[in-house]
Structure 1
């Protein structure tokens, strides 16, 4: 399996570890700031950021993040994505990792790669069986570990509504403990929601 890497820092360390495990990964550690006004919806490949207003706060999803989501949702190119909030005002949601790995443990490792107390958003293309039929549900997972400080947690809590609007078609799921991030917890949530 091949990989394409762009970026520096911790994203390289995470990517190197995933590559050594044979995972096809794209890691991006830098995001361009949004240039569009609020309430503009971006189309893939237009060079615009998707920005959605929520309760007076605005959190922008970078173009790379939006394009990766589109590739996951419509083209099924990826199985999961991990996003982090960046920017001087903590108002940009940037793609950190995109992977086509079908191993759920790889997703857990990627969403927790920021270290102790690091919050992240993850998008997981969850495929499961119910009533003898295959189903697909795309989850937007808000990972906010119990040891996250208020300063780390606050931007993620404020931005979740606007991020979910930008990434239309997702079902939000909040996880604070390791057990809530488990495959079985997600399967239970998938089966209980339409």
Structure 2
């Protein structure tokens, strides 16, 4: 349970394991339920592009997300893949929502083992493909 008192649904871990091990999902979007008691799976997809994934992030509310990010470095090393955890907290979201998501982040983060990178986004430029590619293709643990 998080500092905010928000729990993490078992479905969160199950969906993450399916993405990580079975490659059954390309991304998962998580939200805090309407009663503000639990982090739940809002949506998952198996074949959508990164651009399609970005359309799932609301312009005026917070979300957590996981994306199985594939990329090539261009030096004949082939495709690489990293699982990225997103904390989406747009500037236009309410202060209450931003605070709730910020104080609940550790709870979901602890249940998701195997995250290669973490991206904090407050506007779409921070989660644009090129921004994410720059971060994951150079950081430690690039493999």
Q: Does TM, scored on the shorter chain, surpass 0.5?
A: yes
1:161 counterpart residue number: 106
- Once residues 162 and 181 of structure 1 are traced to their aligned partners in structure 2, the CA distance between those partners, rounded to angstroms, is 22
Given that residues 81 and 124 in structure 1 are in contact (C-alpha distance below 8 angstroms), is that contact kept between their aligned partners in structure 2?
Answer: yes
Tell me the residue number matched to 2:96. Answer: 151
Of 18, 41, 51, the residue aligned with 1:71 is: 18
Query: What is aligned with 2:62?
Result: 119
CA distance in 2 between partners of 1:158 and 1:68 (Å):
22
Q: How many angstroms does 1:59 deviate by?
A: 3.8
Of 115, 123, 129, 1:177 maps to 123
Distance change in 2, residues 1:58/1:191 (3 Å) = farther
1:103-129 deviations in Å (ceiling 9; x for gaps): 1111011122xxx42111110000112
Partner of 1:191: 137
CA distance in 2, matches of 1:105, 1:79: 12
Which consecutive residues of structure 1, in runs of 5 or more, have no partner in the other structure?
A: 1-52
Q: Which stretches of structure 1, 4 residues or longer, exceed 6 Å deviation after superposition?
A: none
Contact 1:61 1:93 in 2 (8 A): yes
Q: 1:72 touches 1:80 (CA, 8 Å); kept in 2?
A: yes
Q: Which runs of 5+ in 2 are unaligned?
A: none
Instruction: Tell me how far apart the structure 2 counterparts of residues 111 and 153 of structure 1 sit (CA, whole Å).
Output: 14
Aligned residues: 137
TM-score, normalising length: structure 2:
0.86
Query: Secondary structure in 1 aligned to 2:92?
Result: coil
Q: Larger Rg: 1 or 2? A: 1
1:25-174 maps to which residues of 2 (within 5 A)? 53=1, 56-86=3-33, 88=35, 90-112=36-58, 116-130=59-73, 131-133=75-77, 134-170=79-115, 171-174=117-120
